[in-house]
Amino acid sequence: MNKENGVLDIKKIRKISLLNIIWQWEIILLFIFIMVAIINSNLSPYFLDYTNLMNTTFNFIEKAIIALPMIFVIICGDIDISVASIIALSSVFMGMASQAGVNTFGLVVVGLFSGSAAGFLNGFIITKFGIPAIAVTLGAGRSEVMQTIFGIDSKTSGDVFINGEKVNIANPSDAMNHGLAYLPEDRQIQGAILAMNVRENITLPIIDRISRHIFLDRNREFEITDEYGKHIEIKASGWEQLVEDLSGGNQQKVVLAKWIATKPR
């Protein structure tokens, strides 16, 4: 009985694994590509014609060559300081090679070599000299580093130094007391409270500074909102307007004004 159950479990695992493979987006795209080819071949006898295939290949080869350095950067693990700069550099070398009369195969080699060489150099510099993640590409952990420094996430190791002095930051309040401010990447969701008005958003981080015991100093609150709202040039019908009713750019200005109002270092 146990042997039968084991066989059934193996069959079930194989079935699940097969389904996982089939539902991968690469397999789905391949299936769609094959179906399009079959349908177009039935609609027109010239679709899979040699001349048509060659023309299509040459029309897309330029885009494919430009994409090669990008693919190399992704394969290498997103360790480059700037993906766009690697693509631009490779494109320059490929353009120079094209003007010199290099054929298509040679251009591919030039693109691969220049992209991989630049990626290797950047990766070596980052790992050799310990450049922090905030200087490298998305996905390398820079957001997590900044959130840890600001006390949003708990650190597992390492220390934070400000002007050469070791500081202990356990939460965002500690970070603010040390003169730090944090502008998240998604400022609309993480940086602003859309259901609150402009005034409330700007003064929220410094509410303890504009309060007298348990009472909020409304005059001071309006003064600060007016000062930084005008300084950042927030376009709103008034400081009581809800942030969710502002344009995306003005929502970001509200978040910026909020942290400038804390007077960080």
3-state secondary structure of 161: strand
The pLDDT of 152-173, averaged and rounded, is 86
How far, in Å, are 63, 154, 245 from residue 235 at the CA level? 41, 37, 11
Name the band, by pLDDT with cuts 50, 70 and 90, for residue 1: very low
Is pLDDT at 54 greater than 80 in this prediction?
A: no
Torsion angles phi and psi, residue 160, rounded to 5: -110, 130
Which of the four pLDDT bands, split at 50, 70 and 90, describes residue 152? confident
Higher pLDDT, 143 or 150: 150
Using 50, 70 and 90 to split pLDDT, how confident is the model at 113?
confident
Q: What is the pLDDT of residue 227?
A: 93
Q: Which residue has the tokens 């600001």?
A: 150
Element (H, E) at 27: helix 25-43
Give the model's pLDDT for residue 33.
81
Domain boundaries, the chain: 1-48, 62-138, 141-182, 185-265
Q: What is d(CA 105, CA 118) in angstroms, rounded to the nearest whole number?
A: 20
Mean pLDDT of 192-206: 90
Rounded mean pLDDT, 144-171: 86
The pLDDT value given to residue 6: 46
Mean pLDDT value across residues 181-198: 84
75-84, 114-123, 220-229: the lowest-pLDDT one:
75-84
What pLDDT digit, counting tens, does each position of 21-47 carry?
Answer: 666 777 788 888 888 888 887 887 777
Question: Across residues 155-176, what is the average pLDDT?
Answer: 87
At residue 81, φ and ψ (nearest 5 deg) are -65, -40
Residue 157 pLDDT exceeds 70: yes
| Structure confidence at residue 7 (pLDDT) | 46
pLDDT for 255 equals 92
Does 244 have pLDDT greater than 80? yes
Please give the model's pTM, rounded to 2 decimal places: 0.52
Share of the chain above pLDDT 90, in %: 16
How many Å apart are CA 134 and CA 150, to the nearest integer? 13
In angstroms, the CA 258 to CA 184 distance is 13
Q: Please, which pLDDT band fits residue 2 given cuts at 50, 70 and 90?
A: very low
CA distance 49 to 122: 45
pLDDT of residue 137: 54
Q: What pLDDT does 254 receive?
A: 92
Q: Check if the beta carbon of residue 88 is closer than 8 Å to that of residue 70.
A: no
Query: Which among 65, 80, 151 has a CA at the least distance from the CA of 111?
Result: 65
- Exposure b/e, 230-261, CB count within 10 A at least 16 = b: eebebebeebebebeebeeebbbbbbbbbbeb
pLDDT (mean) for 91-105: 86
| Residue of 188, 181, 176 whose CA lies nearest to 253 | 188
| Spatial separation of the C-alpha atoms in residues 216 and 222, rounded to whole Å | 11
pLDDT-derived band of residue 72, with 50, 70 and 90 as boundaries?
low
Band of pLDDT at residue 228, cut at 50, 70 and 90: very high
- Whole-angstrom distance, CA of residue 70 vs CA of residue 78: 10
